[in-house]
């Protein structure tokens, strides 16, 4: 299974946050947020929870599992 992260950028922008602001709120680097938005990095459960809480949404709203082709 692959992690689909395409919703992160949309949800972050809807919340009015920059990548740097989200990174600061979640305690990671801006590069980690960039990589997560691109789908190059699958966050740990703890980071996914921190991201969701920072964006006042659920992990499921931001991240979903997809079957590998």
Both structure tokens of 23? 């990174």
- Residue 41 placed within a domain: yes
Prediction pTM value: 0.85
pLDDT > 90 fraction of the chain, expressed in percent and rounded: 77
Residue 69 has pLDDT above 80, yes or no: no
- For residue 52, the domain's CATH number is 1.10.260.40
Count of domains in the chain?
1
To which residue do tokens 């979640």 refer? 26
Mean pLDDT score, 28-52: 95
Both structure tokens of 7? 């919703």
Coil, strand or helix: which one is 8? helix
pLDDT tens figures, 50-67: 999 999 999 999 987 765
Residue 44 has pLDDT above 80, yes or no: yes
Both structure tokens of 6? 């395409």
Q: Which domain holds residue 18?
A: 2-58
- Residue 32 placed within a domain: yes
Q: What is the DSSP letter of 56?
A: T
CB 28 within 8 A of CB 47: yes
Phi-psi region of 7 (alpha: psi -120 to 50; beta: other; left: phi over 0): alpha
């Amino acid at each position: 299974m692959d992690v689909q992260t395409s919703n992160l950028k949309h949800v972050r922008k809807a919340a009015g946050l920059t990548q740097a602001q989200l990174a600061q709120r979640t305690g990671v680097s801006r590069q980690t947020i960039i990589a997560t938005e691109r789908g190059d990095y699958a966050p740990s459960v703890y980071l996914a929870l921190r991201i969701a809480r920072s964006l006042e949404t659920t992990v499921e709203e931001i991240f979903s599992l997809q079957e590998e082709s």
